[in-house]
Structure 1
Amino acid sequence: MDRSSSSKSRDASIPPGVGSSPVHLEGHLDLTAGQATDRGLRAANEDCMGLRIPEGPTRTLKGVAAVIADGVSSAEAGREAAEVCVQSFLSDYYGTPDSWTVKHSAQVVLTALNRWLYAKSHGTHEAHRGYVSTFSAVVFKSRTAHLFHVGDTRIHRLRGDRIELLTRDHSTRISDRDCYLARAMGMDAHLEVDYQEIEILPGDCFISTTDGIHDWIGTEEIAETVQEGLASGQPFEEICAAVAGRAKRAGSDDNLTCQLVRIDAVEPAETDELVRALTRLPFPPPLTVGDRIDGYRIERELHASPRSQIHLVVDEETAQRFVMKTPSVNFEDDPAYIERFVMESWIGRRIDHPAVVRIVDGPRPPRFLYHLMEEVEGETLGEWRAARETVEIRDVVELVEQIAGGLRAFERMEMVHQDLKPDNVLVDREGRARILDFGSCWVAGIHEIAVSIERDVALGTASYSAPETRWGETAGVRSDLFSLGTLAYELLTGQLPYGEAIESCRAPKDFERLEYVPSHHWNPMIPIWIDGALRKAVSLRAGRRYETFSEFIYDLKNPNPRFLRGENRPWIERNPTRFWRIVAAVLLVLELGTLWLWLG
């Protein structure tokens, strides 16, 4: 047997403190894993395998990864390709942002890896050597197993006495023993990876094998060998070696590799445990000008609401000025509120863009719950608009373009701001827009982690939030696009695109009664093509909005021929809801008339 290993331990390669996360998210994902490989009758072993079992925040945010690869024997560099696949995935996956989903993180890594392998095999001095390998990986995060697969390696799940093959071979068989791969890493410039999510339960066993095993023994034989080993308490690497040995005795003439991962426990942190973690730091006492907290002196109050207070503070040691945001004591017993407040600083530290206000770390560990922001001298976007009787369209478009740039920074981190409104955008002394307040942000990677508290569904401000957010859904970029379009409309007209009625809408049927008011109804100086861009951005149906911020900004700056038709468009395009209502009403009248004539 060439290599084997078993592990329940932490990943020693990750130093403590790196990639720290909110401790309240840390639940219990315990597992035991082992692996073994044998070159069999071959002169060299072209299989490769790898496990990464981190502890603490990294396990919570990125999960545990098990990877297996089989270098294609007909490719001269198959062995190197398999090793690169395993080693690079286990390294690069954990280097992706912890706000990304498992799927997005893995696909970015695999796409880059495939391009590198393909380039090595085509158009370089090593083009005569084929860098081609199969690849299968399982990432366990919270309550879910995320499977990534290309080629003819396999992943099975053993639950109780039932074993199930979770992957399908990407190969074409031409005889009992001969088949050709249709898909593999490095085979084609375009990579298509099978992906699926599977709920995991305690006791589940995930078994990954190369074709040197599953081409020679069936799934039931694999399950039988694993069950016997588990029942006798064998170390996991010995169980994997036993599976390989059984295939070898069955006549396998290929490399043989097996991985085994058993889920021992999977559950989010208990509610009491979670609340203790969230309330580790107490709420600050009520603060007034001149008060001191953690070495900061309160200079003045900038904003106060029932949910939070914002003060300008000065560090008494360095004389540096910061903006301090503190939670409201009204929510001391609300875990969902405290979680959002904690997450706000976590999110802010991961966004670095000129159009986003920076969250900063203070020089001393905090003794109370608050966070510090850079000081931005200026006014809110609402104050900026109120101070002007009229605004130039080009000035509004410039500000909207800057805000869109900041929202792209959230998009790159797989985040949705969800509370874009005039009070959450600052305009500094140089006229530059800065987004603030991340308390309503939706983070894709965090959304994958199960928690034991009930989170608020509808966040954000009703007048500016996309309809789908009212019932707890998000359309990603398109949700923030609705808010940005509403903001642009209001800056240009002083009104909301659907009026005040949107604030009372809760269910999908409520939004069907809303009607868009053309922006040039309020401001005749707005060109029809700009109104067309605004109308599309604030469409009540997410699928009809722009797909990207760039498209919206381009149409605000360049006349779109489609919008130049303006009111000459067919009525069904301008107001499809009203059109079909009237059609339905006419048909109903005709049906009733026909019925009356027939009865008469």
Structure 2
Amino acid sequence: MHLSGKIGLAVGQFTDAGPKPQNEDFLGIQTPEGSLLATKGIAACIADGVSAASAAKEASETAVRGFLSDYYETPESWEVKTAGQRVLTAINRWLFSQGQGHSSAEKGCVTTFTAAIFKSHTAHVFHIGDSRLYRLRGAELEQITRDHSTRVSAATCYLTRAMGISLNPNIDYHAIPLEAGDIFALTTDGIHGFVPTKKILAELSSGREPDEIASALGEAASIGDDNRSALVIRIDSLPDNDKDNVFRQLSHLPFPPDLLPGQSIDGLMVERLIAASPNSQLYLVHDIHAGDRPFVLKTPSVNYEDDASYLERFALEEWIGLRTDNPHLVKVVHRETPRNFLYYVLEPVDGPTLAQWSGDNPSPSIECVVRIVDGIVAGIRALHRKDTIHQDLKPENILMDSSGCVKIIDYGSCRIGGISEIASPFDRHSALGTLDFSAPEYRLGATATTKADLFSIAAITYYLLTGGKLPYGERWEKARTLRDFLTLEYTSATLYNPMVPLWMDGTLRKALSISPDSRHETMSEFIRYLSEPDPAIFTNGPLPLAARNPLLFWKVVSLVLFLALLLSWVLR
């Protein structure tokens, strides 16, 4: 899979205790190896332990070391913002816990913290306190962060925010675009508190190497009475964004030919073709080197041999399947045998698709449907924990094995938060779902969230309960604008299946709202109220006719109005 993460950096560091007995600053930078360079980026951090605290040195070192270690342990699929915030929350809680029990004069483990993560063509910045991040672009110097401090006199300044002060700190985050030639400087107040901005600009613009610049800034701050630290980073080059080069990397393996029973590929003997579509082929195979163990082989369609976007999605399907583990997600199998063609291998699932099962079971029990949906939700929540949205949930993409366990397949439309941050020279398609079950936001061009998958699951639930019907009828597929969607009317599931409880229909109505903000906040909330009434929408009496069957309601209203008009005409 193409994940270009090669950023060319030059780095310089300086840290010194100055006139103080110990250095309570701490800084560090980490460049990972392999795919982590692309998916997680290069992280640079600086921290300034607050001297008034009892463990200032421990606090700054813990913050930097902890972040550089734990950030790279988070899933590769997570967005930088998600990973960084969760790691800093955990570190802050530890620092805060260490400060409990100290007197007011001993404030425990408190430190400032600033980090810049350089990933693809973007710098992701996390900041709290009064350490700083500067960026020099051309001849312009910009202070990227703002100080969280209040000056009460010329000599006295108090921090308003820092790591370890409170249990839930407000940590600034923002992302800024990178350009080759940018120079970044992370400094503690022992540097920028004593070195004028003009001097910082002059040093960063000097053309010298980053280590020389960092040392010069440290020397310029020697007149001060504080620890002084600087981390200088020059962006020499960014990941290759040339479309032809990207395509060459994606297509380094050839497409396999159409396979016939009895043929083998890399030790996999073909038994039969399971399914073929314009996008791919699925074959039942067995591994002749592993005791004839059965697998499913998925191969790409030659229709897309020169489509870089398709090639990336195909590669990401395997990437997702190898990084998620849930009984309701079909497993991708890792084989040690080197590949000579582009394909990947899946566990076999012996059973029909949910669409086929629904056709054979048009009137399933409510309990059976809830059990099926509970399995779908469990699988999708496992993806969501990896910052991955499926985006193409439909009955054809869900299998039911011989034990009745549902398994979600086809990760080709997934949006992975961490991957979407990586710059690409080609368009990544976002609206890939099937219209019947996809949320309105895809067609409206809005950013899809986990609530888009919730909409699809609710549509599948409705489909199962009603014997294959859709909640908005035939006009749904033709809707394209917000006005189109707002003219659609939800059809109560009770119209097709009177066994559906009114409160369950209310849950479906909410989850199938046109506006994502009107849907349930979480998957667990939705699945809960499929099994019990939601107090927010449930009433002791039956729902009014307008809620149960809007079409019938307006027909009755129209009939009453017509009769009233006719009566008034007769009485004239």
Is the TM-score greater than 0.5? yes
Structure 1 partner of 2:559: none
Percent sequence identity over aligned pairs: 47
- The range that moved more, 278-287 or 476-485, is 278-287
2 CA distance for matches of 1:283 and 1:382?
30
Once the two structures are superposed, the pairs formed by residues 467-482 of structure 1 within 5 Å of their partners are: 467-482=440-455
1:331 equivalent to 2:304? Answer yes
8 Å Cα contact 2:102-2:108 kept in structure 1: no
Once the two structures are superposed, the pairs formed by residues 346-361 of structure 1 within 5 Å of their partners are: 346-361=319-334
Structure 2 partner of 1:72: 50
Q: 1:554 corresponds to which letter in structure 2?
A: R
How far 1:530 moved relative to its partner?
Answer: 0.4
Q: 1:549 corresponds to which letter in structure 2?
A: M
Tell me how many residue pairs correspond in the alignment: 549
Query: Of 412, 423, 437, which residue of structure 2 is paired with 1:450?
Result: 423
2 CA distance for matches of 1:340 and 1:298?
24
How far 1:432 moved relative to its partner?
Answer: 1.0
8 Å Cα contact 1:139-1:145 kept in structure 2: yes
2 CA distance for matches of 1:311 and 1:383?
19
1:39 equivalent to 2:17? Answer yes
Structure 1 partner of 2:534: 560
Change (3 A) 1:488 1:572: closer
Query: Of 494, 497, 514, which residue of structure 1 is paired with 2:471?
Result: 497
Structure 2 partner of 1:293: 265
How far 1:415 moved relative to its partner?
Answer: 0.3
1:317 equivalent to 2:289? Answer yes
Structure 2 partner of 1:537: 511
1:227 equivalent to 2:205? Answer yes
Structure 1 partner of 2:60: 82
Structure 1 partner of 2:144: 166
1:512 equivalent to 2:490? Answer no
1 CA distance for matches of 2:252 and 2:153?
65
SS in 1 for 2:352: strand
CA offset digits 1:136-161 (Å, max 9, x no partner): 01111111111111111111111122
8 Å Cα contact 2:494-2:548 kept in structure 1: no
CA offset digits 1:562-598 (Å, max 9, x no partner): 33348756979998xx99xxxxxxxxxxxxxxxxxxx
Query: Of 369, 376, 379, which residue of structure 1 is paired with 2:342?
Result: 369
1 CA distance for matches of 2:102 and 2:129?
24
How far 1:124 moved relative to its partner?
Answer: 9.2
2 CA distance for matches of 1:539 and 1:330?
37
- The range that moved more, 413-422 or 363-372, is 363-372
Q: 1:509 corresponds to which letter in structure 2?
A: R
CA offset digits 1:484-530 (Å, max 9, x no partner): 00000000002011123222333333323322111101111111100
SS in 2 for 1:469: helix
How far 1:289 moved relative to its partner?
Answer: 2.1
8 Å Cα contact 1:163-1:220 kept in structure 2: no
1:528 equivalent to 2:506? Answer no
Change (3 A) 1:473 1:277: farther
1:271 equivalent to 2:243? Answer yes
How far 1:181 moved relative to its partner?
Answer: 1.3
Query: Of 394, 400, 411, which residue of structure 2 is paired with 1:438?
Result: 411
2 CA distance for matches of 1:152 and 1:395?
58
Structure 1 partner of 2:171: 193
SS in 1 for 2:7: strand
Change (3 A) 1:471 1:285: farther
- The range that moved more, 369-378 or 413-422, is 369-378
Q: 1:341 corresponds to which letter in structure 2?
A: F
CA offset digits 1:333-392 (Å, max 9, x no partner): 222111111110001111100111100012411211111111122211111111124110
Once superposed, what is the RMSD of the aligned Cα atoms? 2.2
Q: 1:185 corresponds to which letter in structure 2?
A: M
2 CA distance for matches of 1:111 and 1:61?
21
Structure 1 partner of 2:557: none
Structure 1 partner of 2:218: 244
Change (3 A) 1:503 1:290: farther
1:176 equivalent to 2:183? Answer no
TM-score normalised by structure 2 residue count: 0.92
How far 1:434 moved relative to its partner?
Answer: 0.8
1:106 equivalent to 2:84? Answer yes
8 Å Cα contact 2:4-2:120 kept in structure 1: no
Query: Of 71, 77, 94, which residue of structure 1 is paired with 2:72?
Result: 94
Structure 2 partner of 1:591: none
1 CA distance for matches of 2:498 and 2:523?
25
SS in 1 for 2:162: coil
8 Å Cα contact 1:397-1:556 kept in structure 2: yes
SS in 1 for 2:184: strand
2 CA distance for matches of 1:156 and 1:574?
61
2 CA distance for matches of 1:439 and 1:246?
55
2 CA distance for matches of 1:412 and 1:66?
26
- The range that moved more, 84-93 or 510-519, is 510-519
Change (3 A) 1:300 1:242: same
Q: 2:188 corresponds to which letter in structure 1?
A: T
8 Å Cα contact 1:28-1:269 kept in structure 2: no
- The range that moved more, 292-301 or 544-553, is 292-301
**Structure 1 unaligned spans of 5+:** 1-21, 580-600
Structure 1 partner of 2:30: 52
2 CA distance for matches of 1:303 and 1:480?
25
2 CA distance for matches of 1:466 and 1:474?
11
Change (3 A) 1:52 1:406: same
Structure 2 partner of 1:585: none
Q: 1:144 corresponds to which letter in structure 2?
A: T
SS in 2 for 1:35: strand
How far 1:426 moved relative to its partner?
Answer: 0.9
CA offset digits 1:273-298 (Å, max 9, x no partner): 11111111111111122222111111
Q: 1:298 corresponds to which letter in structure 2?
A: V
Once the two structures are superposed, the pairs formed by residues 404-423 of structure 1 within 5 Å of their partners are: 404-423=377-396
- The range that moved more, 208-217 or 132-141, is 208-217
